[in-house]
Homo-oligomer: A and B are copies of this chain.
Amino acid sequence: MLYTNEQMLDLFEGYLSQAETPAEPELLYSPIVYSMSGGGKRLRPLLLLLTAQAFGGDASAVMPAAVAVEVFHNFTLLHDDIMDNADMRRGKPSVYKRWGANVAILSGDAMMICAYKTLSKISPDKLPRVVDMFSSMALQVCEGQQYDMDFEKKRKVSVVDYIQMIESKTSALLSGAATIGAVLADAGEEDVRRIHRFATELGLAFQLQDDLLDSYGDVMLGKKIGGDILEGKQTYLMVQAMSLASEPQREILRTTHSDASLTDGEKIERVRAVYDSLGVARMTEQQISLRFERALGVLDTLSIGADRREPLAEFARNLMGRKR
């Protein structure tokens, strides 16, 4: 019997809730507890567990790796919030905002160490490879974050460079989680490569959708839109628009976010008017569908039965908020 995705998530939360964090020094450890109980969607550990299960692995045996991936993900948020000067995270003050930069730096460091410490509890014969995989994944996430910061200072970012950046910043953790799950379940090397491709494409679709929703909003009521536009951030829509725009349009795209004579609403409207005239929302939707379909297509090539592929397809659909 396979666990359903909901059951697997419950198993994970149950396992995670048993983890003990030292009480002292309080300023080192309480931000970790705050961060880990902040209501994340647990996407990465769930993907790891579902992948391991798909290849016949035992959920409880791979649980430490799932925890390690989630702790690492939350660590990146702690440090990203300092670098991005972000006050809020999941509807609550960020650790950076609540405790300050020094606490966020050091607690984050401790979280990364905790991630590796937890990882060391997996099956010993797999540990050398998995520590190496985990570290490569983690480095790639750092590279993505650095490129993202580099892009803020660049006038022009190519679409190819942008895709490469989000492949590192967003996809790497998903593909790392999925491949670690596959390796822990003794999947064949071909399948490991395929599952990597699946999670990479899915991660790209997910990030592009995030970019699109930021500018064009969600079906959910009350979702604040336009944050990326107001911050002058590089997004898929922005880099596409810049590559297609006329010189006057480029000027609008470049300068609007820092134009003090405009209200926030006017800024968003102005940039979206350029996006609309260039059709970049439509292009982004096409990219999202392309990446999503590719991800599902890769699943069909795995050397496992359809019943074992289905939970991964369901994970992908849920992630994207799609019925099919």
Contacts and interface: CB of A to CB of B under 8 A. Distances in A.
Contact of A112 (B112, B124, B143, B150): B112
Contact of A28 (B108, B127, B142): B142
Q: Which of A25, A108, A125 has the most CB of B within 10 A?
A: A25
Given A79-B109, A127-B124, A146 B25 contact: yes
Interface residues of A, number: 40
A117 to B, nearest CB: 4
A139 B112 contact: no
A198 B113 CA distance: 25
Contact of A83 (B102, B117, B127, B149): B102
B102 A142 contact: no
Contacts of A121: 128
Interface in A134-151: 134-136, 138-139, 142-143, 145-147, 149-150
Given A128-B127, A132-B120, A143 B105 contact: no
Given A131-B131, A135-B120, A136-B117, A106 B27 contact: no
A106 B128 contact: no
A108 B108 CA distance: 11
A290 interface: no
A135 B117 contact: yes
A28 B131 contact: no
B135 A114 contact: yes
Given A25-B150, A132-B117, A147-B25, A142 B110 contact: yes
A277 to B, nearest CB: 33
B135 A127 contact: no
Given A112-B113, A131-B131, 13 more contacts: A25-B147, A27-B146, A27-B150, A83-B105, A102-B149, A105-B105, A106-B142, A108-B109, A109-B109, A113-B139, A117-B131, A120-B135, A127-B128
Interface of A: 24-25, 27-28, 79, 82-83, 101-102, 105-106, 108-110, 112-114, 116-117, 119-121, 124-125, 127-128, 131-132, 134-136, 138-139, 142-143, 145-147, 149-150
